A and B are shown apart, each in its own frame.
Chain A
Amino acid sequence: MTEELLHRDEVMAAEMVGAARDVLNVMFFTDILEEADECACTRPLPIQVRVTFTGHQSGEFRLEVDELAAGSLAGSFLGADPVAGPNPEEVDQVMGELGNMICGAFLSRFEKEGLFALASPQVHRPAHGEIPGIHRGLELMDGFMDLRMCWGSIPG
């Protein structure tokens, strides 16, 4: 990979993390503690959200998260009872919405004049399959999250 492409990927990865931070700060009242090229967690993570998008550019965004972080994020988003917490169905629904928001916030940074459409998020348990493109591993207050973005058709 050329130096120019590496730089472009680094910029895009930083923007993806920036979009995730915005969403986590504003709607989930939490923050990113650490970020790295690879998630400092045991893979595969148990929950995977896939969001495909079309528009000026098409592709797929994937968010993977562990149970602890997912439960904490869903509880915060829904204002769930801190003892009972959200049920698994609610956790999946909130993770789908989280994937949708991060993908949309990220694309909005590049598509100011364009139009794009996001498909409904698909939640998979456990995460499976990897896609090329940019990725970042995040450490949150209660667990780990992995973000991946691929433009163009997804192989396989």
Chain B
Amino acid sequence: MNSLRILIVDDSPAMRAYVRRTVQLASLPVKNVFEAGNGAEALEIVQKENRDPNKLDLIFADLNMPVMDGEQFVEKLRQDERDSKVPVLIISTDATQRRVTRLRELGAQGYISKPCQPEMIRLKVQQILGDAIESL
């Protein structure tokens, strides 16, 4: 991994901008930031980008989105063997325990409930990517 390639999936342009800025301010070694407004758009980007030798390293995803929501997106993503290993970090206002449990079962690696401080996002990214970041 030379530097991070991340995908931000959220129907709110404001929230996508917030995550992008947070990632940049956290001094994470980000090379490319891709954005999608829903799960269906995100799947297209994942399938396209994962043909590249430098695959996506991390996906930030919202839950409540039109067309394809965050749960459906994670479920579809995990069905494709080639794309199934990309970690997904959910950022959502829906902080119910049942939702968190369901997302874990589907294969999401982390969950952050909004409101969330930028520091929380940075910590979760480091937790998920761990050694991969330190070796950059």
Contact = CB atoms under 8 A, between A and B. Distances in A.
Interface stretch (A33-41, A110-118, A124-132): A110-118
B18 A78 contact: yes
Given A78-B18, A93-B13, A115 B117 contact: no
Interface in A58-105: 74, 77-79, 90, 93-94, 96-97, 100-101, 103-105
A114 B14 contact: no
B128 to A, nearest CB: 21
Interface in B3-56: 11-15, 17-18, 21
Contacts of B98: 113-115
A120 B66 contact: yes
Contact of A97 (B15, B92, B94, B99): B15
Given A108-B94, A120-B66, 9 more contacts: A26-B116, A27-B18, A90-B13, A93-B13, A93-B14, A96-B12, A104-B95, A104-B114, A118-B93
B: interface residue count bin: 20 to 34
A97 to B, nearest CB: 4
Interface of B: 11-15, 17-18, 21, 64, 66, 92-99, 113-117
B106 to A, nearest CB: 14
A101 B13 contact: no
A101 B114 contact: yes
Contacts of A96: 12, 14
A15 interface: no
Nearest to B15: A97
Interface of A: 22-23, 25-27, 74, 77-79, 90, 93-94, 96-97, 100-101, 103-105, 107-108, 111-121
A79 B18 CA distance: 8
Given A78-B18, A97-B15, A116 B97 contact: no
